[in-house]
Chain A
């Protein structure tokens, strides 16, 4: 073996693609997982028969034919996927090896991976702390070098926030660029699959593989995008908006300081920065927590104990439903199903769901308006750094952490979280958000900044 474990852990996708012995990569990945994962718990399932290829971690709400898809839920504990997700088909063809299914908050609902039926994932930078969520397993697996790269899914920040907590790159593409076929739906109008990577360039390389119109997903769009088009280039002279809310109450001081530092940094790099008030941010959490649970209440109706997964019988059909769903779903999932059932009910539809849809459009309009003036909008990815496992119990505190990441989902925009140093020993992420289909340029700009801060070469 030429490559050491240490070498493997730092290996980027770009390097892996060129590495001749893919077999070696899989066995290195499996041995790092074996060594690390008892403490990290990034994986729900490790695939010892991953074969040959570039080792990738797949969030366990994405179907790989013949492997379990648990969604970190008791209700799907024994479920084995009956088909490949479209992204999996593409990755298979591109020579990737699926070394395991990564941990998440149950059905991707959460921001810490604590709501997993298989226990929380720990942050590689501090094992006392959470890895973020819901794609906590995917972020921790990349940050710890268990895999070269991973796939997450992002409904309200589930790729970007754990990437920020774990000090890696997380990219949520424009809605419709990556097929959701085979991704177990959380909130269909918000969900999008994307990469969690060690570098921005890796994220772009993976996007070139997984993106594209899919005949199995009616919400995908037909756009030929080369996501690596602007990678490795010097990009400046842009107009950047920094949300005023980045410095408001509720944002940790350390993060405010890092965000200020980032603003100075991009100015030094030759860009123009304005601080812009986006008052609509006040409504994003409320809007999101009406729309997402509404879709959840419907999307999760199929888990009824009739066809697959957990079945707890009873005296009647009603009992079967109650027993199976009552015991199969965790508390947070049940909370969201109840909220969604309520907001969609005939008596409250107009007051909640319909109104939330309107506000969603207002928020999207406001952001699109800003993009007429600015190339990108900058915020911290999360108002907080990784917190201690078990330290947050109030769901409202929890929900408010999504304030900066949710807008991109509500408006279907591309957004990326890149690591920008640390507060204490904990990494922080800066989010850059662009207009729809600006993905390649957004990745290019993020790559340029990432290279400068990580002393990578820029042409």
Chain B
């Protein structure tokens, strides 16, 4: 730890995967839809339209708050945040300012609690498309209101994060939780998960702390870390020169890999928050909260622990398997069929992950049956381990069953002692010098003969049988 220490807090927006928007019946699944096709009088702010809060938004919010160990407030209320912008059709955003959904939670990151200050529900704004670089320079701008009214959960952490890396890990861990809960796709690139950060720097020698800088536009996990690293260095640079660190909002610029000033805090808006009169306070009954909690499945940390306990994996292996819920679910599905958790984990962590990385999950035609068959073929000695890798790859890419591949390609292991003896004899005859050398004590040549037999059989020979025959011929035992 150097002299300067970053102090980081995050403000995270999570798009909730509800069926409908927060306050109307429009679909909330608007990704890739034609602009302005998922809209209605309510979410476009027509005169006379009124918002009615969706119950599902509260269900997902309660799930998220529970997973983040928050205290859920039974009295929850909406407020209006007033400001003018063309992507905000009503001229205000419905949010929860005075009475958030939940408070005082935490998330464990590398064994350390990062405290969650609050989680509140609000609605998303629309999207602007500028005919030019920005709204001030564009000749005109187009408004797409599909995104208007999609429910968001805003998560605000305490400034407990001590490094840009920790911020990234927090976000990655959060995404895993979101996917486990099924409350959001957690896709940062598509804007379903957005992160703003507040960073200030403490000089541990003087005890002086810099002003807070807000960093925005970090739309990937990598950029969260990169932008905060850049910003930390920038602030430290200023502090070292004894210069003033301005309280401001800066945006991560992808092309220059720097942060750029967006506006200073002094010109911050007065949002004129006040209680939303169109929506009565929402009372979440204990019963409602308990019922929602019951629907929460096993969370990642608990699953890792169980994988270690039940399947005899180490924590690292378990973490990797658990990170993507779909992968972990599939792993368990396979284990049910193979009854070989250790072996299955090995195949997952090597061959299966390699193929996922090379081809993408959607390209893989793999089922639990693929593994079960493959393991059976191995167990019966029908194929060797090396051949099994080949068969697995082909099966996963083509969708053909391992057994069919083995038959079609004649990959069946040669286990017939007579047949192998013939091949061994051929190999020994073809390499008289090496036989001589072996008999004079060059024991290391044993593997050379094994290799030659394998080469002759295109890897199909059962190594155990080959060993036995070679021993008989070379050592007379």
CB distance from B376 to the nearest CB of A (A): 57
- Chain B residue numbers with a CB within 8 Å of A83 are 41, 46, 48-49
Within 61-93 of B, Cβ neighbours of A (below 8 Å) are at: 80, 82, 84, 86, 89-92
A69 near B92 (CB under 8 angstroms)? no
A353 near B53 (CB under 8 angstroms)? no
Picked from A76, A187, A301, the residue with its CB within 8 Å of the CB of B82 is A301
- Chain B residue numbers with a CB within 8 Å of A79 are 47
Picked from A184, A219, A295, A300, the residue with its CB within 8 Å of the CB of B48 is A184
- Chain B residue numbers with a CB within 8 Å of A301 are 82, 84, 90-92
Given the contacts A83-B41, A218-B280, A307-B44, A345 and B52 also touching, CB distance less than 8 Å: no
Please, how many angstroms separate the alpha-carbon atoms of A82 and B143 in the complex?
Answer: 19
Please, how many angstroms separate the alpha-carbon atoms of A317 and B132 in the complex?
Answer: 14
Which of A11-19, A29-37, A175-183, A429-437 lines the interface with chain B?
A: A175-183
A302 near B50 (CB under 8 angstroms)? no
Q: Is A189 an interface residue (CB 8 A)?
A: yes
B48 near A317 (CB under 8 angstroms)? no
A218 near B278 (CB under 8 angstroms)? yes
- Contact flags (1/0) for B255-271 with A, using CB distance below 8 Å? 00000000000000010
Picked from B47, B91, B272, the residue with its CB within 8 Å of the CB of A345 is B272
Given the contacts A184-B47, A298-B82, A218 and B53 also touching, CB distance less than 8 Å: yes
A63 near B48 (CB under 8 angstroms)? yes
Q: Is B51 an interface residue (CB 8 A)?
A: yes
A63 near B84 (CB under 8 angstroms)? no
B270 near A345 (CB under 8 angstroms)? yes
Q: Is A374 an interface residue (CB 8 A)?
A: no
B143 near A306 (CB under 8 angstroms)? yes
What is the chain B residue whose CB lies nearest that of A300? B91
B52 near A216 (CB under 8 angstroms)? yes
CB distance from B80 to the nearest CB of A (A): 5
Please, how many angstroms separate the alpha-carbon atoms of A304 and B46 in the complex?
Answer: 12
Q: Is B448 an interface residue (CB 8 A)?
A: no
What is the chain B residue whose CB lies nearest that of A353? B274
CB distance from A337 to the nearest CB of B (A): 11
- Chain B residue numbers with a CB within 8 Å of A297 are 82, 272
What is the chain A residue whose CB lies nearest that of B46? A82
A181 near B277 (CB under 8 angstroms)? no
A294 near B48 (CB under 8 angstroms)? no
Picked from B45, B52, B135, the residue with its CB within 8 Å of the CB of A302 is B45
A307 near B47 (CB under 8 angstroms)? no
- Residues of B contacting A: mostly: loop
Q: Is A52 an interface residue (CB 8 A)?
A: no
Q: Is B362 an interface residue (CB 8 A)?
A: no
What is the chain A residue whose CB lies nearest that of B83? A301
Given the contacts A304-B91, A316-B136, A341-B272, A298 and B80 also touching, CB distance less than 8 Å: yes
Q: Is A349 an interface residue (CB 8 A)?
A: yes
- Chain B residue numbers with a CB within 8 Å of A349 are 272-274
Q: Is B279 an interface residue (CB 8 A)?
A: yes
Q: Is A168 an interface residue (CB 8 A)?
A: no
Q: Is A396 an interface residue (CB 8 A)?
A: no
A344 near B82 (CB under 8 angstroms)? yes
B47 near A218 (CB under 8 angstroms)? no
Please, how many angstroms separate the alpha-carbon atoms of A180 and B51 in the complex?
Answer: 11
What is the chain B residue whose CB lies nearest that of A63? B48
B51 near A304 (CB under 8 angstroms)? no
Tally of A-B residue pairs with Cβ under 8 A?
103
A185 near B48 (CB under 8 angstroms)? yes
CB distance from A224 to the nearest CB of B (A): 20
Picked from A63, A81, A317, A346, the residue with its CB within 8 Å of the CB of B270 is A346
- Chain B residue numbers with a CB within 8 Å of A69 are 47-48
What is the chain A residue whose CB lies nearest that of B86? A306
What is the chain B residue whose CB lies nearest that of A181? B50
Given the contacts A215-B52, A307-B45, A302 and B89 also touching, CB distance less than 8 Å: yes
- Contact flags (1/0) for B278-311 with A, using CB distance below 8 Å? 1110000000000000000000000000000000
Which of B50, B53, B143 has the largest number of chain A CB atoms within 10 A? B50
Please, how many angstroms separate the alpha-carbon atoms of A327 and B456 in the complex?
Answer: 92
A181 near B48 (CB under 8 angstroms)? yes
Picked from A180, A187, A306, the residue with its CB within 8 Å of the CB of B50 is A180
Please, how many angstroms separate the alpha-carbon atoms of A402 and B46 in the complex?
Answer: 29
- Contact flags (1/0) for A54-78 with B, using CB distance below 8 Å? 0000000111000001010000100
Q: Is A85 an interface residue (CB 8 A)?
A: yes
- Chain B residue numbers with a CB within 8 Å of A341 are 272
Please, how many angstroms separate the alpha-carbon atoms of A183 and B143 in the complex?
Answer: 26
Q: Is A230 an interface residue (CB 8 A)?
A: no
CB distance from B44 to the nearest CB of A (A): 6
What is the chain A residue whose CB lies nearest that of B82? A298
A182 near B279 (CB under 8 angstroms)? no
Please, how many angstroms separate the alpha-carbon atoms of A297 and B92 in the complex?
Answer: 10
Please, how many angstroms separate the alpha-carbon atoms of A85 and B46 in the complex?
Answer: 12
Given the contacts A82-B41, A185-B48, A218-B50, A294 and B274 also touching, CB distance less than 8 Å: yes
Q: Is A188 an interface residue (CB 8 A)?
A: yes
Q: Is A253 an interface residue (CB 8 A)?
A: no
Q: Is A115 an interface residue (CB 8 A)?
A: no
Which of B48, B84, B91, B92 has the largest number of chain A CB atoms within 10 A? B48
Within 392-437 of A, Cβ neighbours of B (below 8 Å) are at: none
CB distance from B380 to the nearest CB of A (A): 63
Given the contacts A216-B52, A304-B91, A76 and B47 also touching, CB distance less than 8 Å: yes
A321 near B84 (CB under 8 angstroms)? yes
Within 122-179 of A, Cβ neighbours of B (below 8 Å) are at: none
CB distance from A318 to the nearest CB of B (A): 9
Which of B41, B89, B91 has the largest number of chain A CB atoms within 10 A? B91
- Contact flags (1/0) for B80-121 with A, using CB distance below 8 Å? 101010100111100000000000000000000000000000
A344 near B46 (CB under 8 angstroms)? no
Q: Is A217 an interface residue (CB 8 A)?
A: yes
B277 near A189 (CB under 8 angstroms)? yes
B272 near A218 (CB under 8 angstroms)? no
CB distance from A349 to the nearest CB of B (A): 7
CB distance from B138 to the nearest CB of A (A): 10
Please, how many angstroms separate the alpha-carbon atoms of A193 and B92 in the complex?
Answer: 24
CB distance from A180 to the nearest CB of B (A): 6
What is the chain A residue whose CB lies nearest that of B274? A344
CB distance from B283 to the nearest CB of A (A): 13
What is the chain B residue whose CB lies nearest that of A306? B86
- Contact flags (1/0) for A288-304 with B, using CB distance below 8 Å? 00000011011011111
CB distance from B274 to the nearest CB of A (A): 5
B residues at A contact (CB < 8 Å): 41, 44-53, 80, 82, 84, 86, 89-92, 135-136, 143, 270, 272-274, 277-280
For the complex with contacts A301-B82, A301-B84, 18 further pairs of A-B residues with Cβ separation under 8 Å are: A63-B48, A79-B47, A83-B48, A181-B50, A182-B48, A218-B280, A219-B277, A302-B89, A306-B86, A306-B89, A306-B143, A307-B143, A316-B136, A344-B272, A344-B273, A346-B270, A349-B272, A353-B274
Enumerate 22 A-B pairs (CB-CB under 8 Å) in ascending A order.
Answer: A71-B47, A81-B47, A81-B48, A181-B48, A182-B48, A184-B47, A185-B278, A189-B277, A217-B52, A218-B51, A218-B280, A297-B272, A298-B82, A298-B91, A298-B92, A303-B47, A304-B84, A307-B44, A307-B143, A341-B272, A344-B82, A353-B274
A residues at B contact (CB < 8 Å): 61-63, 69, 71, 76, 79, 81-83, 85, 180-185, 187-189, 215-219, 294-295, 297-298, 300-304, 306-308, 316-317, 321, 341, 344-346, 349, 353
Top 3 closest pairs, chain A to chain B, by CB: A301-B91, A189-B277, A344-B272
